Structure 1
Amino acid sequence: MSLLSVSGLGLTLGETLFTGLSLTLQPGDRVGLVAANGRGKSSLLRVLAGQVDPSQGSVTRARGACVALVAQEVPGPLLPLTMRAAALGALPAEARDYDGWRVDVALDDLAVPPELRDRPLAALSGGWQRTALLACAAVTEPDVYLLDEPTNHLDLARIGVLTRWLAALPRSVAVLAVSHDRAFLDTATARTVFLREVASRDFALPYSAARAALEGADEADARAYQNRMQEAQHLRRQAAKLKNIGINSGSDLLKVKTRQLTERAARIEAEARPAHREGAAGAIRLEGSASHARALLAFEDAAIAAPDGRILFRTGQKWIVPGDRVVLLGPNGAGKSRMMAAVRAALSGAGEGVRAAASVRAGISDQDLGQFDANRTPHEILSARFDLGDQAIRSALAGAGIAMARQAAPARSLSGGQKARLAMLILRLERPNLYVLDEPTNHLDIEGQEALEEEIARDAAAALIVSHDRAFVRAVGTRFWRIAGRRLDEVESPEDFFREAEAGGG
């Protein structure tokens, strides 16, 4: 018996996001939902959770089935609450006294340290806030989990915890996860749905294998469409010949045959469906400027300290030269953010132990997208920074996947993926020779991640990168610095760190 089924589902919110979607979730299903930014993934989850009405089609839930949506952002009313209080509040009021024990069980299963359980959510990192929302869902013991970007803001150790937690769920439970984390999808899901405006695809395969199957299916569709169009053209040529013969001979039979051939060709053309072509959500293009400095950044045994002054580690003597793409590895709390802050300070001329060359033009992107004011419109943001002219700005924004209607609305109204693409557009227009990127793939769809990988890999600029996205790190990194104890060591590969971090060893 299915827990949740969808038939002919469609949703239009200003524009058509998807139509004709049919989907069934059975007990034990572990499904990944993949689509480009702005294509309706989060909206679909809200429809499945009963929070938004579809434009067409139906959603059927098994009698008594509990469906829990774990959203990307913490609702405002929960922010003042502690993690424990938020999870307790997810239970029905009448059950909190005798079922309150479920809260500690859920927090234990999610490996939440005791010292974090009684802190307000507003004081926690984005990763722990995401864990708190998962705990709020878990205490209700749902039959279906709907997870919206569950790995965003998680380090590799927490991704490992999440993956093991999902694997340990009862086989009676189904999970549908929206994610752009390719490694997570391959590990945590066994089925992949590619959401499209029409003709969404469903494969009983994890992401990488499903992606290959999708490409094969699209190629087959393209060949079938081409064959049908050739058949229609052949019928039309036959009809044209018969028409001429019929006119010359005055044969009514040939006129009827001509009409039949023409109508058959028209039916074939009307029924044939072109192969799917994914419309780009927006180009990711980075245009670095050249630098002749031997070392763009020099670390002279800098002491990286916590906010309270405690030394987290020392960098030793290290350099970043043009073409280097250095990935900084370390568990949460090891000091990656503090080192990135020290680099930003050096770029502004205020750093200690970190020196930037005079020729450095830095392009900085932080994981919270704080490099632009979200209360201003995308058009205003670019106009204030770059002397491009109105039409060039509009074209640049459209090329980044931000439609005209969105360009004049506050940037806070953009989806997470669109904000990330706006940040990448700002980087491109700044033409840096050194990128300082903190979780640059957060919110970017897979298409955007792959485009960013390609641009960084072929750009002559240097980069210092913090990322928990294993596929991205493997694709772009040329050097790897690992925080180990109180030292910053250069290692040949990130793979040992990945294995240890996923196992919980950091």
Structure 2
Amino acid sequence: MISLRNLTLRRGTRVLLDSASVSINPGEKVGLVGRNGAGKSTLFALLNGTLHEDGGDFLMPPQWRMAQVAQHMPETAQPATDFVLDGDTRLSHLREQLRKAEQLGDGMAIAQAHADLADAGAHDAPARAQALILGLGFQVAELDRPVNSFSGGWRMRLQLARALMCPSDLLLLDEPTNHLDLDALVWLEAWLKRYEGTLIVISHDREFLDAVTQVTLHIDNAQLTRYGGNYSQFEELRAQQLTLQQAAFERQQAKIAHLQKFIDRFKAKATKARQAQSRVKALERMERIAPVLASAEFTFEFQEPANLPNPMLALTDASFGYRAEDGSEKAVLSGVSRTVLAGQRIGILGANGQGKSTLVKTIARTMAPLGGKVTEGKGLAIGYFAQQELDVLRPDDHPLAHMVRLARELGVDAREQDLRNFLGSFNFSGDMVLQSVGSMSGGEKARLVLAMIVWQRPNLLLLDEPTNHLDLATREALAMALNEFEGTVMLVSHDRALLRSVCDEFWLVGRGQVGPFDGDLDDYQRYLLDESRRLREQARAAAPAPAAVPAPDAREQRRLEAQARQQLAEKTRPLKRELETIDQRLALLAQEKAQLEERLMQELPPAEIAESGRRLKTCTEEVERLEEKWLDVSAALEELGR
């Protein structure tokens, strides 16, 4: 196990952990949480050997193999599959041994190397590497593309695939979801659930932590506290602890006040001096309970729009896409006819590469439609947060300069002090308003972009992955602000907690079309599994036939193929039966839930209301458990079908 005993850890002069103690057992999946700057990444540096403890003991089994995502951007012309394949360090080492043995002509060493490579899974390593790449959202045609031909976000996905490829007993993941779409995120969750080693993950995605982890480590006030349970369970337990701590603090303060009152009143009286002195000693011996300091969480709100056109905009038989360098047009979406009304909260769903960002960019006027008509309502004011919006900020300028320039571009006469006060509401106070943007964290840059959008008083918000660099507190603040916003919201995000809390309807972008999605996010996750299976089958059908090779005896070939089909059927049959059983049970539960919900709307005796409520809760919990099981079984079935 991993053991920290009375551990002290510093970064410069700052103490990040002070006499902290905790244990992590083999095979546990742990979420590491805490405020930005609390020391999460520093603790990772201790675990991977980059830093050493300043005091106390840190113990980890020396034989454990560790994997983590390299943070540097890879610059190599190596094909994507080979780059990920090299993440299996054991295979790379064995291949090097084989090469040396062949150079020396050492027959025994060559035979041993081949045996070791077989044990290490060399025969299916390329297929495993490609499964990781495809699972993280790449297309079949991109498997052999040079790494440096991809954008930064896609190269970081390849770094993640490379880390997953590495055989490990301990896997460290620091914000693995930042560059992922929802389809890749669902796949990663399923992969991590099957991972057999110890996992420690830093993430600001609440639902990802809930789905993957069973233990939560919280860093606060230079201490590490272990909680059994995922992030939501941690929040409940911590809230209970803080409530108890505050109550105990208040009781102790009342007792201290009572003792101090006696001391002050009688310390000068000879007859009471001894009793007063004993109370002084009691006060000195008392172990003080710290008060719960209410943390000033970040909050903000969108200003009331100047007007609300209705409809906001209308798309009529529109085609969206891009124009190639040779002038030809490449349509991604066609025949789109949708209307956006005032006050709508629309979540835009779709598998990777289907055209979500293309749709949003065209509505935001950064791309022109290829055909059809986009009709905007009179007075439409768009606030657009793009995935690459942080790159648009000028790194050498400070936040105040950005606001002054924005006011000038919009022709608004704004005093510098007013702009400073506005930035202060987004936690840019004091000298921070004059700090260069290039030296800021990703979360601070995202807050600056949000501030610039809010200042423009939009009535239509187009948000394309706005949470990539936001911590949990800022994500909560964004969700609250969006729920209070009086205009219209169109949101693309892999943060399911944000989608659930903000959106009341969904559009599905896929197969070149845009239409309503009749279902919730759980239904959408099932759709993603079906869609990925369809795309894989489509890619197989489009792949060129392999070059002809001398065929074995036709009868023997047919026998082998029949045997392979039979073996596959034997493996998949119980999984298919299990899926059918789950589907049947889910249908029954859906019917029972509907009956119970209808019954609870009627006037019933208290006892019947209580019983129906308990049964409804039981049904809901069973549905959640079965849906999770459905996803696991489907993933296993899909894995066998590859």
**TM-score, L = length of structure 2:** 0.69
1:65 aligned onto 2:64: yes
CA–CA separation in structure 1 for the residues paired with 2:56 and 2:68: 20
Larger radius of gyration: 2
TM-aligned CA deviation for residue 3 of structure 1: 3.6
Letter in 2 for 1:273: A
1:86-101 to 2 correspondence within 5 Å? Answer: 86-87=83-84, 89-90=86-87, 91=89, 94-97=93-96, 101=122
Name 2:242's counterpart in structure 1: 218
1:488 aligned onto 2:514: yes
Letter in 2 for 1:359: G
CA–CA separation in structure 1 for the residues paired with 2:397 and 2:140: 40
Name 1:440's counterpart in structure 2: 466
CA–CA separation in structure 2 for the residues paired with 1:333 and 1:110: 17
SS in 2 for 1:301: strand
- Please give the root-mean-square deviation of Cα atoms over the aligned residues, in Å: 3.1
Name 1:265's counterpart in structure 2: 283
TM-aligned CA deviation for residue 431 of structure 1: 1.5
TM-aligned CA deviation for residue 333 of structure 1: 0.9
Name 2:311's counterpart in structure 1: 295
Does the 8 A contact of 2:157 with 2:179 survive in 1?
A: no
Does the 8 A contact of 2:183 with 2:351 survive in 1?
A: yes
Name 2:344's counterpart in structure 1: 324
Relative to structure 1, the CA distance from residue 94 to residue 294 in structure 2 (aligned partners, 3 Å threshold; closer, same or farther) is closer
Letter in 1 for 2:321: A
Name 2:395's counterpart in structure 1: 374
Relative to structure 1, the CA distance from residue 156 to residue 76 in structure 2 (aligned partners, 3 Å threshold; closer, same or farther) is closer
Letter in 2 for 1:361: A
TM-aligned CA deviation for residue 316 of structure 1: 3.3
TM-aligned CA deviation for residue 297 of structure 1: 1.8
Letter in 1 for 2:405: A
Letter in 2 for 1:380: A
1:277 aligned onto 2:294: yes
Relative to structure 1, the CA distance from residue 56 to residue 339 in structure 2 (aligned partners, 3 Å threshold; closer, same or farther) is farther
Name 1:45's counterpart in structure 2: 44
SS in 2 for 1:221: helix
1:22-37 to 2 correspondence within 5 Å? Answer: 22-37=21-36
Name 2:549's counterpart in structure 1: none
SS in 2 for 1:503: helix
CA–CA separation in structure 2 for the residues paired with 1:472 and 1:426: 21
Task: For CA contacts below 8 A with separation 6 or more, give which structure has more relative contact order.
Answer: 1
Between 120-129 and 22-31, the greater mean CA deviation after superposition: 120-129
Between 18-27 and 77-86, the greater mean CA deviation after superposition: 77-86
Name 2:546's counterpart in structure 1: none
Letter in 2 for 1:158: A
Relative to structure 1, the CA distance from residue 81 to residue 18 in structure 2 (aligned partners, 3 Å threshold; closer, same or farther) is farther
1:336 aligned onto 2:360: no
Relative to structure 1, the CA distance from residue 384 to residue 95 in structure 2 (aligned partners, 3 Å threshold; closer, same or farther) is farther
Between 227-236 and 415-424, the greater mean CA deviation after superposition: 415-424
1:110 aligned onto 2:132: yes
Does the 8 A contact of 1:159 with 1:502 survive in 2?
A: no
1:418 aligned onto 2:444: yes
Relative to structure 1, the CA distance from residue 266 to residue 277 in structure 2 (aligned partners, 3 Å threshold; closer, same or farther) is farther
CA–CA separation in structure 2 for the residues paired with 1:227 and 1:427: 47
1:356-371 to 2 correspondence within 5 Å? Answer: 356-368=376-388, 369-371=390-392
Relative to structure 1, the CA distance from residue 57 to residue 427 in structure 2 (aligned partners, 3 Å threshold; closer, same or farther) is farther
SS in 2 for 1:483: strand
CA–CA separation in structure 2 for the residues paired with 1:484 and 1:110: 22
Name 2:537's counterpart in structure 1: none
TM-aligned CA deviation for residue 330 of structure 1: 0.7
Q: Kindly provide the CA deviation profile for residues 136-180 of structure 1, in whole angstroms up to 9, marking residues without a partner as x.
A: 32344222111011122212221122112112222xx11111111
Name 2:501's counterpart in structure 1: 475
Between 435-444 and 110-119, the greater mean CA deviation after superposition: 110-119
Relative to structure 1, the CA distance from residue 395 to residue 143 in structure 2 (aligned partners, 3 Å threshold; closer, same or farther) is farther
Name 1:450's counterpart in structure 2: 476
Does the 8 A contact of 1:299 with 1:317 survive in 2?
A: yes
Candidates 195, 204, 221, aligned match of 1:169: 195
Letter in 2 for 1:107: A
Does the 8 A contact of 1:291 with 1:322 survive in 2?
A: no
SS in 2 for 1:345: coil
Identity %: 25
Relative to structure 1, the CA distance from residue 371 to residue 187 in structure 2 (aligned partners, 3 Å threshold; closer, same or farther) is same
Q: Structure 2, unaligned stretches of length 5 or more?
A: 99-116, 408-412, 533-642
Name 2:160's counterpart in structure 1: 134
Candidates 192, 202, 207, aligned match of 2:216: 192
Letter in 1 for 2:64: A
Relative to structure 1, the CA distance from residue 85 to residue 264 in structure 2 (aligned partners, 3 Å threshold; closer, same or farther) is farther
Q: Would you say how many aligned residue pairs link Structure 1 and Structure 2? A: 493
**TM-score, L = length of structure 1:** 0.87
Q: Structure 1, unaligned stretches of length 5 or more?
A: none
Does the 8 A contact of 1:87 with 1:139 survive in 2?
A: yes
Candidates 374, 377, 385, aligned match of 1:354: 374
Does the 8 A contact of 1:218 with 1:276 survive in 2?
A: no
SS in 2 for 1:370: helix
Letter in 1 for 2:290: R
SS in 2 for 1:273: coil
TM-aligned CA deviation for residue 31 of structure 1: 0.7
TM-aligned CA deviation for residue 116 of structure 1: 2.8
Candidates 318, 333, 340, aligned match of 1:313: 333
CA–CA separation in structure 1 for the residues paired with 2:457 and 2:158: 39
